[in-house]
C-alpha cells in the first residue's frame, strides 16, 4: 500500500508540473507535439519548462533531486534553460525552518544554542536535498575562536528515502523477472548499492569520518583543500567543520577575472579524481559544482575546495588494478587487451570471441580519440556502448555504479571549465605512472615497509618455528608410518582369514564328494 501511494503521488507530481507535456514536446514528430498540446488542456503550464522540472524534482524528494544534480552537470545533453534551472538543485533547494534547525542542534547536544556556539547565523547559507548549512563561531579546546560551518540534517528524510527505495526495489524486481537483460543489468544489486549509500548519507558522523579520511589522503597533493572536522561538535544529525572560503566553481568568469588558470583547474580536477580512485581507492562520489569551490586566498590560490562528504566510493585492490589496466590499455588503444580483460574478469561470458569484442570496442572508441571534450557526443558514445554491452552480454558491476556516476560528473565539469580539454592525454600519463608504481621497485619497497613490523616480530621466532615445524613433521611422519604398518597388518590378517575360510570351504566340498562316491561304490 505504501508503494502504491508513493507511485500515485509521483504520477500526480508528473501531471501537476506537466512533465508529460515536456517529454512529448521534446520529440520532433508533429503527432506527438499535437498530443502534447491536447494533454496540456486545462492545466496551468505557463511556467518555463526548466522551472517546472526543477520544482517537480524538489517535490519528489532527495533521490530525484540527486538525479537532477547529475543531469545539471551534463550541459552537452540538456538545453541551456533546463541545465541552468537544474543547477539550482546543487545548493539552492528551499531550506527548512531555522527554528527547526536550532531545535535539532539543541536536541543533539542537550544544551541551548548559546551554550554551544559563540555565535550562530540563523539564515542558512546553502540548502541541499539532505541537509542545510549555517555559519557559526565556536571556541575550540585551546580557547581559540574558530569560524565553522554547521551542517544540519533535514528532518523526515529517512521516511521519504525508504519509500522511494521500496518503490525502486519493486521496479527492480520486475525488471529482473520480466526483462531478458535482467541477469546482465543486475537491477536488484544496483538498487541495494544506492540503498547503502543513501542511508550512509543520513549519518553525519559517518560523513565527518569520510571528510577526515579524505583530508589525510589529500594532504601531500597540494591541489585541494578539505575542511577540518571538530569532533566535539559532531552528532548523527549535526556536523561542525572548518569554514572554507572560496568561489563556486560554476562562476568561471569571476574565477577568470581573479587570475585563476581555468585550463589548469580542469586538468587538476582530473588528477584529483584519478588520485583518489587509483592511489587511495577512496573517492568523493558527489562531485557536482555545488560541492566544489576554488580558493582565492594568497596561500592556497587556485586550489580546489571540496565540500559535502556524505557519499564516498571505495574500491578493492582487485578493482583498482583491473580498472587501471583497462584505462591504460584504452588510452594506448590496445583494444585487444581491453577485450581480454573483460573476459578474464568474468564481465562477459567465457566463450566470448576476443577478436569480435575487440572489433566492437574499437568501433565505439576510435572515433573519439584525440578530440577535445567539445567535439565528443557523449549521448552517441553511451548509446553505442549500451548496444555493444547488450550484444556481448556485459554484466553490470554494482560496486562500480558510484564510480561511473562520478566519472560523468568529472567529465561534465571538465567540459564546463575547458571545452578544449583532452581528457585522454590528461589522464594517460597519470595512469602509466601509477601502473609503473604498482609493479616496480617502489611497490615492492612500500610493501616491505608496510610489513616491516610484522617481519621484525617474526624473525627472532623463526628458528624456533622452523624447529617446531620439522619436529612436528617428523612426528607426523612416524605416526603416519605406524598407521600404515598397522593398516597393512590388518589387511594381512584379513587376507589370511579369507584364505583359511576359502581353503576350508574347498576341503569340505572335496570331502563331501569323496563321501558320496564312496557311498555309491558300496
Rounded CA-CA distance 276/473 in Å is: 48
The candidate with the shortest Cα–Cα distance to 376, out of 403, 384, 197, is: 384
- Angle at which helices 317-331 and 335-345 cross, to 10°: 160
Residues 6 or more apart whose Cβ sits within 8 Å of residue 66: 129
Which pLDDT value is given to residue 509? Answer: 46
CA geometry: angle at 457 spanning 451 and 461, to 5°?
130
Identify the sign of the CA torsion 275, 346, 400, 282: negative
Between the alpha carbon of residue 267 and those of residues 51, 166, 373, 390, 420, the distances in Å are 33, 40, 12, 33, 11
Which pLDDT value is given to residue 149? Answer: 96
Are residues 207 and 239 in contact, defined by beta-carbon separation less than 8 angstroms?
yes
44 catalytically annotated: no
Percentage helix, strand, coil for the chain under 3-state DSSP, each rounded to 5: 65, 10, 25
Rounded CA-CA distance 314/193 in Å is: 12
Between the alpha carbon of residue 80 and those of residues 83, 154, 209, the distances in Å are 5, 30, 37
Rounded CA-CA distance 101/134 in Å is: 9
The candidate with the shortest Cα–Cα distance to 129, out of 294, 290, 241, 306, is: 290
Rounded CA-CA distance 206/182 in Å is: 33
Rounded CA-CA distance 131/252 in Å is: 26
Helices (H), 43-97: 49-60, 62-72, 80-86
Which residue out of 237, 286, 319, 418 is catalytically annotated? 286
Rounded CA-CA distance 187/170 in Å is: 10
Are residues 348 and 357 in contact, defined by beta-carbon separation less than 8 angstroms?
yes
Q: What is the mean pLDDT of each run of 10 residues along the chain (522 residues)?
A: 75 80 66 64 77 86 77 69 81 86 94 94 89 93 91 88 77 71 66 74 92 93 94 94 93 93 90 86 85 92 93 83 77 84 79 88 79 62 63 69 76 80 72 68 67 69 67 58 60 54 50 46 42
Which pLDDT value is given to residue 390? Answer: 67
| DSSP-derived secondary structure letter, 284 | E
| DSSP-derived secondary structure letter, 242 | E
57-62: list long-range contacts, CB under 8 Å, 24+ apart: 57/86, 57/89, 58/89, 58/93, 58/94, 59/13, 59/17, 60/10, 60/13, 61/129, 61/160, 61/161, 61/164, 62/129, 62/130, 62/157, 62/160, 62/161, 62/164, 62/198
- Angle at which helices 423-439 and 441-458 cross, to 10°: 40
Residue with cell 583532452: 422
- Cell reading at 84: 541552468
- Cell reading at 378: 557523449
Which pLDDT value is given to residue 117? Answer: 95
Residue with cell 581555468: 262
In DSSP notation, 12-50 reads: HHHHHTTHHHHHHHTS--HHHHHHHHHHTTTS---S-HH
292-294 and 247-248 strand pairing: antiparallel
Rounded CA-CA distance 474/470 in Å is: 6
Measured in degrees and rounded to the nearest 5, phi and psi for residue 78 equal -120, 150
Amino acid at each position: 500500500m505504501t508503494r502504491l501511494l508513493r507511485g500515485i503521488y509521483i504520477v500526480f507530481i508528473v501531471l501537476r508540473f506537466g512533465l508529460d507535456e515536456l517529454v512529448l514536446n521534446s520529440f520532433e514528430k508533429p503527432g506527438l507535439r499535437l498530443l502534447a498540446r491536447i494533454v496540456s488542456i486545462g492545466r496551468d503550464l505557463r511556467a518555463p519548462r526548466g522551472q517546472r522540472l526543477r520544482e517537480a524534482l524538489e517535490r519528489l524528494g532527495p533521490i530525484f533531486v540527486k538525479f537532477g544534480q547529475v543531469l545539471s552537470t551534463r550541459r552537452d545533453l540538456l538545453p541551456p534553460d533546463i541545465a541552468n534551472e537544474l543547477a539550482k538543485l546543487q545548493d539552492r533547494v528551499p531550506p527548512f525552518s531555522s527554528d527547526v534547525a536550532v531545535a535539532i542542534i539543541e536536541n543533539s547536544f542537550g544544551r541551548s544554542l548559546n551554550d554551544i556556539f559563540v555565535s550562530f547565523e540563523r539564515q542558512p547559507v546553502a540548502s541541499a536535498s539532505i541537509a542545510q548549512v549555517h555559519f557559526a563561531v565556536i571556541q575550540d579546546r585551546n580557547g581559540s575562536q574558530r569560524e565553522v560551518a554547521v551542517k544540519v540534517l533535514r528532518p523526515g528524510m529517512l521516511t521519504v528515502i525508504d519509500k522511494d527505495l521500496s518503490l525502486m526495489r519493486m521496479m527492480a524486481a520486475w525488471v529482473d523477472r520480466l526483462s531478458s537483460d535482467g541477469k546482465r543489468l543486475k537491477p536488484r544489486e544496483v538498487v541495494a548499492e544506492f540503498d547503502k549509500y543513501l542511508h550512509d548519507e543520513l549519518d553525519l558522523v559517518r560523513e565527518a569520518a569520510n571528510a577526515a579520511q579524505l583530508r589525510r589522503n589529500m594532504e601531500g597533493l597540494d591541489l585541494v583543500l578539505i575542511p577540518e572536522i571538530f569532533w566535539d561538535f559532531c552528532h548523527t544529525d549535526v556536523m561542525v567543520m572548518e569554514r572554507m572560503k572560496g568561489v563556486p566553481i560554476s562562476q568561471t568568469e569571476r574565477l577568470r577575472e581573479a587570475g585563476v588558470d581555468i585550463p589548469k583547474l580542469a586538468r587538476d580536477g582530473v588528477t584529483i579524481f584519478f588520485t583518489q580512485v587509483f592511489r587511495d581507492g577512496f573517492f568523493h562520489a558527489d562531485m557536482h559544482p555545488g560541492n566544489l569551490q576554488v580558493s582565492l586566498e594568497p596561500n592556497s590560490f587556485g586550489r580546489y575546495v571540496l565540500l559535502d562528504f556524505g557519499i564516498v566510493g571505495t574500491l578493492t585492490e582487485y578493482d583498482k588494478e583491473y580498472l587501471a589496466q583497462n584505462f591504460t590499455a584504452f588510452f594506448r588503444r590496445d583494444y585487444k587487451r581491453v577485450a581480454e580483460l573483460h573476459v578474464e574478469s568474468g564481465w562477459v561470458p567465457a566463450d566470448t570471441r576476443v577478436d569480435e569484442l575487440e572489433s566492437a570496442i574499437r568501433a565505439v572508441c576510435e572515433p573519439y580519440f584525440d578530440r577535445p571534450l567539445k567535439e565528443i557526443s557523449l549521448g552517441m558514445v553511451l548509446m553505442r556502448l549500451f548496444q555493444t554491452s547488450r550484444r556481448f552480454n556485459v554484466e553490470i558491476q554494482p560496486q562500480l555504479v558510484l564510480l561511473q556516476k562520478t566519472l560523468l560528473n568529472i567529465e561534465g565539469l571538465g567540459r564546463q571549465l575547458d571545452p578544449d580539454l583532452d581528457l585522454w592525454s590528461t589522464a594517460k600519463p597519470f595512469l602509466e605512472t601509477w601502473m609503473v608504481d604498482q609493479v616496480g621497485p617502489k611497490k615492492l619497497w612500500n610493501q616491505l615497509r608496510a610489513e616491516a613490523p610484522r617481519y621484525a616480530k617474526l624473525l627472532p621466532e623463526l628458528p624456533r618455528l622452523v624447529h617446531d615445524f620439522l619436529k612436528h613433521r617428523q612426528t607426523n611422519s612416524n605416526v603416519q608410518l605406524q598407521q600404515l604398518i598397522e593398516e597393512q597388518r590388518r589387511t594381512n590378517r584379513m587376507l589370511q582369514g579369507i584364505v583359511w575360510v576359502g581353503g576350508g570351504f574347498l576341503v569340505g566340498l572335496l570331502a563331501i564328494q569323496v563321501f558320496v562316491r564312496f557311498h555309491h561304490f558300496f
